[in-house]
A and B are shown apart, each in its own frame.
Chain A
């Protein structure tokens, strides 16, 4: 069936689309082009029209491929068809109703009916609103159309039934364009300008942003009829409009800006694909994008977006965008974009793929970062080859190691105690094994928490939780044990201690052990010669107290050596204090008693000074023998009843007697009188 636009010579082919643009841009209800009749001179009759008002029912017979943007056009088409069919039904009663009419009269809303009826009107020159507009060559703006005099506006009663309150007519291209709306709008020249401009200016490509949801932000509270011309498109059906990864075109409204109208620049959050540059485009294709998301009933805010290359303005919208974002992503998640989801229009847009952008939904980022990330994305996605359908893994089940998945209960599946054990070790403990590395700053990090859990059955170098106390203890230890070298403790940073100490701990402990052994020996030596001295008793009491105290405080699991070092340290210091007294005490006894035993490697050097008695040397040798020592050099002299003995010996076997024991034995001999 011929469309209106094709039957009349004077009407440009794409007029309907122009009308659509015009009426949608101002959100009015309908647009009609009255053209000069070819049959009758000067008479205006129906040329073409676009219906943009409320719809009662929508026949959802559209196939899925038909995008929402075509719905408006289709509706208008359907209305025209209905009219034609009704017309023909009237003229020819016998003929069956044309089956092509998708709509039937009961499907129409009042405004639609009005629109339909308009198709039957003709206007003689000067008659009616369109006639007068053409005759005068001027725009006529009729407010309160429903109360107008029927001489002025012949369809006023019809308008009343349809609640059309404002009608505007102006001459255009030899005919008249009429727009009407169900609201009362006072005369507004700028609106007219806008409409006219939009009719003229439709050669540039259109880019639609897909905001995901209807409740889209600040636009709602803006009066669409106000002086500030509002240009936005909102898509209420994101799913249907979900394009694949790359394609969208940009709508460039330079024409509007030339008018000086205030163009509100906004950037909606949309699905993250927008093209960066406007592109020259086939008018056919772009129209389909312009007319989008016409949906019955629900709020429809339709306008275009002005896309600026500098997206700095977008930030203000990002707050509002966040709601849209989540929905957009939800939708996107539902349809993980696939290359095969193609569309005739998209094919046209392949060449745009090279510059893809995405806008970050993270509100923390500045608009600046958006730009950077967009650049990154464009470089990644632009350079990557076009998504091709990759062959899915071909399964030769008989040869594959893998079995098909069966949805079985996984309750009794294998679940180890410590999860991701090896992975955690590789990431957390292994890096700390390396000795001597310096970190820039190692704060208490979460890794240590996990490391603690690993500790239980680890064989790796032990990590001890609660580093700080340990660190402090080590420092104290260092201050007390003089032999610990500075090297073990050369920290660049206190907090790097942990992993330096892995190796250094060993040396610290070995030094401590050494020192402790020395002290033990000393203790025994002094103890044995203090049988009669009070100091010893006091020290011992102190020692016991010390032990109790320390064992109470000592809640950490440390090796015994460590503990002993604490205890011995305390004790040693006490003894050190008492020592000079001891030394003084001894000579006062009169008898020079001195036993010195020192061990160097495997060699033991014994020096004795004691009162000489019979068989003392024999006793000494006996004692040494019992201690598994082999004397290889003996020097002795007995002068003035005092034996001076220097004895060098070696340990016979592996058994090594501690210094203390040797000393003790020798003391006994020396003191025996």
Chain B
């Protein structure tokens, strides 16, 4: 399989590439009609979110005509479509605020700008968010002010706000309708239950103290397992929530640091990771690990460091990766 060329829209049986004029970071894929939202990464105020329509049948990926893209202040730190299949037009973005967008046929309307700060007109900067797929009204955001805010996005109000960690919170993931977990610069993975906001449980701490944990992914097919990545580390740490503090596995086959992880939406044993070594690896977690560690199942080499990876439940046969200013959809 040869590497796709530099054309801006390339049709290849195995992968589809979209080349954008600026570096990309945030990616989101919606349910049918399948759309891919890509967020730019320019360190200025003016950024852009482009919405492309994706047809897995005809393997086309094109910007929606007329161009359905909108300006976004500052680079969006995360983009995500509404988890339910019934509202594929609702897109949320995080950054300086939590914003909701309604993607209509010809334009994207900002629906709301949600600010979780009572005291000031500015919101604490959001590093990430997650939309609860069991309870789609609920959306949790993580922020560098050490808090996690849970929103009721239908009403546009804050449901609750918790001080989650001692340092900045970098990622948040829902497990169940009322349970979420978060990772932070203090190096811990904590689980929270909205029914019992007084308590949280640390289920993992990075071995070198204060090594930030940058990303978190909760296996939605098998809620026992979570994966996380550390700063400057090539390891993907797999955790079992029933066995706190000890990781179940450490996947260590990347040649450089890992940038993104995503569990397979259709299988409980597979996880994909992508890193600075330009590779995206798909792993199958075995029942018993061999003595030399776990080897990945398959590998894809991109042209440059892969910064983002999305394996969406909307299109489980395709993995979206973003590197430099390209976005590729890879067939699994």
The chain A residues found within 8 Å of chain B, CB to CB, are 245, 272-273, 326, 329, 332-338, 341, 356, 358, 360-362, 365, 368-369, 372-373, 375-377, 379-381, 383-384, 387, 390-393, 395, 399-405, 407, 410, 413-416, 419-427, 429-434, 436-440, 445-447, 450, 458-461
Contacts and interface: CB of A to CB of B under 8 A. Distances in A.
Contacts of A332: 240, 243, 248
Given A334-B289, A401-B330, A427-B214, A376 B307 contact: no
Interface string B230-270: 01100000001111111011000101111110001011111
A362 B168 CA distance: 23
Interface in B274-332: 276-282, 284-289, 295-300, 305, 307, 319, 330-332
B332 A393 contact: yes
A403 B119 CA distance: 53
B67 interface: no
Given A372-B199, A403-B300, A422-B259, A380 B241 contact: yes
A426 B75 contact: yes
A230 B240 CA distance: 33
Nearest to B4: A401
Interface string B120-143: 101111110000000000000000
A334 B288 contact: yes
A402 B167 contact: no
Nearest to A387: B222
Given A245-B224, A333-B289, A369-B199, A400 B298 contact: yes
Contact of B307 (A381, A423, A438): A423
B170 interface: yes
Given A336-B285, A426-B25, A461 B125 contact: no
A333 B248 contact: yes
A419 B231 CA distance: 9
Contacts of A414: 255-256, 276-278, 305
A420 B214 contact: yes
B9 interface: no
Contacts of A460: 43
A380 B223 contact: yes
A460 B270 CA distance: 37
B289 A403 contact: no
B167 A445 contact: yes
A377 B225 CA distance: 12
5 contacts: A333-B249, A381-B223, A410-B255, A420-B276, A436-B122
B10 interface: no
Most chain B CB within a 10 A radius of its CB, from A380, A390, A420, A437 = A420
Contact of A423 (B43, B259, B267, B281): B259
A362 B43 contact: no
B268 A405 contact: no
A421 B232 CA distance: 10
A407 B253 CA distance: 9
A430 B248 contact: no
B95 interface: yes
Contact of B77 (A326, A424, A426): A426
Contacts of A425: 41, 43
Interface on chain A toward B: helix, strand, loop, or mixed SS? loop
A133 to B, nearest CB: 50
Contacts of B154: none
A575 B235 CA distance: 63
B15 interface: yes
A178 B145 CA distance: 71
A445 B319 CA distance: 35
Nearest to A437: B122
Contact of A400 (B175, B214, B245, B331): B331
Contacts of A392: 267, 269-270, 284
A319 B74 CA distance: 50
B202 interface: yes
B220 to A, nearest CB: 9
A507 B22 CA distance: 29
Q: Rank and list the top 6 A-B pairs by shortest CB-CB distance, nearest first.
A: A431-B125, A413-B255, A401-B330, A402-B298, A419-B257, A460-B43
Residue among B45, B144, B146, B232 with the most chain A CB within 10 A?
B144
Given A380-B223, A393-B264, A426-B41, A419 B232 contact: yes
Contacts of B13: 399
Contacts of B268: 387, 390
Interface in B175-197: 175-176, 178-179, 185, 191, 193, 196
A326 B243 CA distance: 10
Nearest to B134: A383
Contacts of A341: 287
Contact of A390 (B212, B221, B295): B221
B224 to A, nearest CB: 7
A652 to B, nearest CB: 36
Contacts of B295: 405, 407
Most A Cβ at <10 Å: residue of B214, B284, B285: B214
Contact of A358 (B242, B257, B267, B285): B242
B300 A376 contact: no
Nearest to A443: B167
A431 B127 contact: yes
A459 B43 contact: yes
